[in-house]
Amino acid sequence: MQSLSLLDDLIFHEDNPNAQPLLVDSDSRILRFALKPGQKIEEHNAPSSPLYMVVLKGTGLFSGGDGKKKEFGPNSLLVFEQAEPHSIEALQEDLIFLAFLKPISDEIPPENAGGLLGRAGSAATD
C-alpha cells in the first residue's frame, strides 16, 4: 500500500492554477489542483474520461454542462460525465481539490508515468 498526505507540500503558482500529478499509470490519473483566491480554470472538458472531483480545502464555484455556477467546499464530491464541459473558480481562500480520471491512453509513455505515488521512495508506504 502507498499513502500520501493530501494537504502537505502544496504547490501554488502566482499567476495560474497548479495541477500536480499524484498518480499516473495505465489505469488512472489522480491530480491535485491548487488555486489561489480568484484563480480560474476556464471551461474545458475531458474528452475520453468521466471526471470525479473531491474538494479538500477552501470553496470554489464549479460549473458543469448546464453552465450554472454552484459553490462547493470541503467534503464535496462532484461527478462530470465524459466530455462534459466544466470550469472552476477559487473564491476567497485557497482551493484544493483532487481530480480522478481514466488514463489518457492505454499506452502511457514512461516519461509521463509516475506522479508522487508512482515515483519510488517519494511517498510513504506500508
Q: Residue 44: which domain range?
A: 32-113
Question: For residue range 57-102, what is the model confidence (pLDDT) as tens digits?
Answer: 999 999 999 999 999 999 999 999 999 999 999 999 999 999 999 9
Q: Is residue 41 part of a domain?
A: yes
Phi and psi, residue 48, nearest 5°: -115, 15
Q: Is residue 122 part of a domain?
A: no
Q: Is residue 36 part of a domain?
A: yes
- Cα–Cα distances (Å) from 73 to 19, 89, 113, 117, in that order, read 18, 12, 30, 25
- Number of structural domains the chain divides into: 1
Q: What is the pTM for the complete model shown?
A: 0.86
* CATH number, position 106: 2.60.120.10
